Chains A and B, each alone.
Chain A
């Protein structure tokens, strides 16, 4: 196994005075995936926000390439995608405009935009206002951001919510391609996404 890219040691999370979890440790080498499992309220989303640098850990440390993540928060947030529960989509903008905005905000060139749309079968919907999309289509638009700007760390919170079987397969393929390119994915999900040899982290309620 090569050196870990993202590693955590004894992470604890306190929200609103309540201890959500403590003593979490893991190490992910390039190309590895981590599945977060656990009942509702076990802290899966909190852990993802913590990994994104939005939330400071109550205890423990987080490293990227052996350097503490919080030492340079700006650098850290530029290397990750976070797909949360909400899709971050503006209904008044078209599918393509939404994606173009996400790419511009990420500071990435727009060269991968059409490929990203095609990756989740959104090309035909490109000029449709996002408000007219179904819940599953909106989820796909959110996921297309992963492909539109290339970043090494994917943090996905229930990414398959609302997806049909065909698009779940697209998601699985996208994660596999990301891992093959040396990326890391941390995924909170209740379902089996068919990922090859993921690490699994069980969070207790």
Chain B
């Protein structure tokens, strides 16, 4: 069973790698969109610093969401979903494996570049660690929640707009606690409680989202 889990992760990573720039889209979107802000609102440090954390979080949210509609769509279109549905691995774990691979090629890369982008947004040095940590806890949650929407959208044409409507409201708690965790650390108020809540949301998503996703995948398999 763990071999099948690893096989899915390895395959999706390999597919991402062979698609080249295509799989870097979330990261590129994140970086380029963020780079527009100093140009749009002006380079004044106090303005950027004020909005920096929020902007980084909102863009991370959008970057993750934009890449989600292909999470199961490709497998559904070419019949691989049947294969996964008949495999040794329960669909709940299939969903988890797909999310893990997807996080490695999207969320994880966002975490890695986030300190750099925090500097671009003129955030103080003490914000760099917290923002990476917050994204590390938050982006897997975003992907797990989005995975439910992506599985429901299988077969829907032009599903990405619908996916946004479905998923973005569910992202609000992650956004609120993600931003306030970092700002709490920066202002010296401490963000421990918010980080714990982010962690709790991740654990809840890990426990629940695979079941909801698998139910949606079963509908798609009918």
* Chain A contacts to B: CB under 8 angstroms: 49, 52, 54-55, 74, 77-78, 80-82, 84-90, 92-93, 97, 100-102, 104-107, 145
Q: Bound state CA distance, A101 and B89, in angstroms? A: 13
- Pull 23 A–B residue pairs with CB atoms less than 8 Å apart, ordered by A: A49-B222, A54-B85, A54-B218, A54-B222, A77-B85, A78-B88, A81-B86, A82-B82, A84-B79, A86-B77, A86-B78, A88-B79, A90-B11, A92-B15, A97-B14, A101-B7, A101-B11, A102-B83, A104-B4, A105-B7, A105-B83, A106-B86, A107-B87
In the complex formed, the residue of B with least CB distance to A79 is: B86
A75 to chain B, nearest CB (A): 11
Q: Is B15's CB under 8 angstroms from A77's CB?
A: no
Give the 8 A-B CB pairs with smallest separation, nearest first: A107-B88, A86-B79, A104-B7, A88-B79, A105-B87, A92-B18, A54-B221, A88-B80
Asked if B59 is at the interface of the complex by the 8 Å CB criterion, the answer is: no
Q: Is A105's CB under 8 angstroms from B84's CB?
A: yes
Q: Bound state CA distance, A102 and B78, in angstroms? A: 14
Known: A54-B221, A90-B15, A93-B11. A106 touches B87 (CB 8 A): yes
In the complex formed, the residue of B with least CB distance to A49 is: B222
Q: Is A104's CB under 8 angstroms from B85's CB?
A: no
Q: Bound state CA distance, A77 and B86, in angstroms? A: 5
B17 to chain A, nearest CB (A): 9
Q: Bound state CA distance, A88 and B83, in angstroms? A: 7
Known: A52-B86, A77-B86, A86-B77. A107 touches B11 (CB 8 A): no
Residue from B78, B82, B90 in contact with A74 in the complex, judged by beta carbons closer than 8 Å: B90
B91 to chain A, nearest CB (A): 10
In the complex formed, the residue of A with least CB distance to B94 is: A105
Asked if B31 is at the interface of the complex by the 8 Å CB criterion, the answer is: no
Known: A88-B80, A88-B83, A92-B15. A105 touches B89 (CB 8 A): yes
Asked if B8 is at the interface of the complex by the 8 Å CB criterion, the answer is: yes
Known: A77-B85, A77-B86, A78-B88. A104 touches B19 (CB 8 A): no
User: Which A residues lie within 8 Å of B80 (CB)?
Assistant: 88, 90
A62 to chain B, nearest CB (A): 16
Q: Bound state CA distance, A84 and B109, in angstroms? A: 36
Asked if B187 is at the interface of the complex by the 8 Å CB criterion, the answer is: no
B92 to chain A, nearest CB (A): 11
In the complex formed, the residue of A with least CB distance to B77 is: A86
Q: Which of B1-36 contact A (CB under 8 A)?
A: 1, 3-4, 6-8, 11, 14-15, 18-19
Q: Bound state CA distance, A154 and B128, in angstroms? A: 56
In the complex formed, the residue of A with least CB distance to B74 is: A90
A105 to chain B, nearest CB (A): 4
A108 to chain B, nearest CB (A): 8
Q: Is A93's CB under 8 angstroms from B14's CB?
A: yes
